[in-house]
Structure 1
């Protein structure tokens, strides 16, 4: 049975239903009197109710919210997803995004517990604290930091050393191996130097937060049968996800690599204007 052209199908269906409920007139009789097929009446009555205005407003952003949540590896909460939506032109508040996520049963990762203070030098003689516990930088390559962490695999421990730029939080260099020794640290540092082509002051305390993110958002969600598998997958996550896609609050809500590019472009424009003047 095709669609029947009537001015307001919902009203017509209501009339037929009321005739049956109030006056005990059979549906067939009312349909015949109103000039509509009985099969059309039953088909229309089985239709799901029209969404409310609120439901309609939330339906479109809900699809994008689910997309961005899945793209983040199911780790993003409402603040970062709101930034993704704003970048696409959506006019939606963070509170609305949080409400929609709750309705969809989407929950980002719990933020890692903050340490009371960064790692501090112990009693043994250590290298001088060149940065004096200040872990922010005003430009790229003013300050790098680095640290080491261990990862479980089916073959045993795998150690990761990483080096980061304090300005954008970008992972400049990283290396993985079976031993946590100076050679591993040197390999990570050499990669960072190759990436930047220079050297900077180093500290290790702030890098602990990166390793926490890595473990909570990726390593703890995956298993690695071998060290080789762990190396490949972790390196891919760092280079493709963390540096290029994952939004960072310290980088203006942008991914580290994009943040650096934006700042470099802004400074280049300023330099060009200065030369032109």
Structure 2
């Protein structure tokens, strides 16, 4: 503030320091530090910041601290991810962190219809082949997504039928149900399938 007012007003530095409650020597020490050549640490930070900006611009403002650090190391810089992250944060340089993609396994129906709950949330009816539950999930593999449909008996809690596929179609669920029926020797009279 003193620096800005020094040229605009006719007040002396001593008077402005007195009004602001600071010492004159403190102002002159600050001015000397400002005008002095930067030390090795400040010079290193400024050099590193310039290289970070170049690497960030080269990535179309996509890369964050880990990738920029890798680029700098590849160019021969000895720097840590924490230092790069701190300099980026202090200078408001950000990379893009996309959310990981997850496949959709459930589509909401615009016109839902009421299906009666024949089980009443009591999946264990104390007998085999009374309530089966089934669900579909997905698994990330090195070759893409793999979908799993499983059928489980409510009483034994044992998986009695399952199927894998690399696409999500109705035949996945049909295959799992057929295997469950085969596992229970084809006797499915009175079975209620409560799908999730």
- Give the strand-richer structure, 1 or 2: 2
TM-score scaled by length of structure 1: 0.29
TM-score scaled by length of structure 2: 0.40
- Give the helix-richer structure, 1 or 2: 1
> Is the radius of gyration larger for structure 1 or structure 2?
2
